[in-house]
Amino acid sequence: MTPNHVLPAPELRDCPAPAKLNLFLHVTGRRPDGYHTLQTVFQLVDWCDTLHFHRRDDGVIARVTDVPGVPADADLMVRAARALQQATGTSFGANIAIDKVLPMGGGIGGGSSDAATTLLALNHLWGLGLARAELMRIGLSLGADVPVFVFGHNAFAQGIGEELTAVDLPESWFVIVHPKQHVPTAAIFSDQRLARNTPILPIADFAACPHPFDFGRNDLEPIATAKFGEVARALEWLKQYSPHARMTGSGACVFARYPDANTAQQVLEELPPEWDGRWVKSLAHHPLALPATRLARRAIERPQRST
């Protein structure tokens, strides 16, 4: 930061961290380091956590909102902020608050999205000016799903999820059902029954598919439904209303696509009371898919409050 550099206002509020759906998920192999290689398409949707940041001059990273079951030091928001500090040597810190609505262990990328929004917001708030590609590199050290949220667009993903190609997807509405069951990702990927040899397909195969939401399958779904009965029951229920319903990520959420909001709402009205559900709309891009220096045009900068 140059001596004449003018920092933005110290507070950045109402920063969205959207959920994602895996339209398909193929496990294509396993690397010597234990990471699985895959192919998937990430669809962003308008169901979001909301994060708030206040810059500190003492270098302290403090999560000022309690997140039940997640110690602050293990929280991906805190880890992302510290990784950004370490990568840049900045002396700034931050207070981080969150309005948490995305379920944990749901396969919709809530923690990863929170981490990505933290990287984007603090890159701006701390005046770092890092390119999006560099933020993606930092994000990958936190988890394989973090880069796509920094990338900011619906994407065809390969490798461990970090090789991203932007794709255009039709406007859609989805019903997402969370069967109130936490599915640990490690429990699915470590299962010996998991097939790890789905053939690698060219992106052209997906692009040429007349019905992209029916493409492929989720290789993790048979494992999750065998291990977690509520996931299996929720998927079976949703398939009554859409034969192409499937699980996202490693579970527990299941989803189905509908051509309009009214149809999605009608399906949701039949949801059994023991589960949570909502209808959501697709996003063409991340709400913060702007250069970091223009981030404040999408979030709300507030003047520094007196103490």
Q: Please give the positions annotated as active site.
A: 20, 145
Question: Is residue 196 classed exposed, middle or buried when 0-12, 13-18 and 19+ CB atoms within 10 A define those classes?
Answer: middle
> If phi over 0 gives left and psi between -120 and 50 gives alpha, with beta otherwise, what is residue 180?
left
β-pairing verdict for 173-178 and 163-166: unpaired
Name the E strands within the chain. Answer: 11-30, 36-56, 61-63, 93-99, 155-158, 163-166, 173-178, 246-247, 254-258, 276-281, 300-302
> If phi over 0 gives left and psi between -120 and 50 gives alpha, with beta otherwise, what is residue 265?
alpha
The answer to whether 71 touches 58, Cβ cutoff 8 Å, is no
CA neighbor of 249 nearest in space, from 279, 285, 221: 221
The answer to whether 167 touches 238, Cβ cutoff 8 Å, is no
The answer to whether 200 touches 157, Cβ cutoff 8 Å, is no
Task: Look at the block and give the residue holding tokens 């990927």.
Answer: 189
207 CB neighbour count, 10 Å cutoff: 13
Which residues are bridge partners to 20 per DSSP?
44
